[in-house]
Amino acid sequence: MNSFLIILAVIGGLFIYFLPTIIASGRNATATFLIFLVNLFGGWTIALWIFVFIWAFLGKRK
């Protein structure tokens, strides 16, 4: 049971971490790959995660 909760927490954390990329992909944004890269390498900082989150919402669509 304990390992199940750990796995569930890791999956939930990864979902929240990559939420800007998921949003950009769902919106079919033109800069989805750039958003993914910034999110992957700089998303661990709160400031860049917020920046990428806003960018995912405001980016141009294809």
- pTM of the prediction? 0.86
Q: Are 39 and 52 in contact (CB under 8 A)?
A: yes
Total structural domains in the chain? Answer: 1
2-38 pLDDT tens trace: 999 999 999 999 999 999 999 999 999 999 999 999 9
Phi, psi of 32 (to 5 degrees): -60, -40
pLDDT computed for residue 62 by the predictor: 74
3-state secondary structure of 61: strand
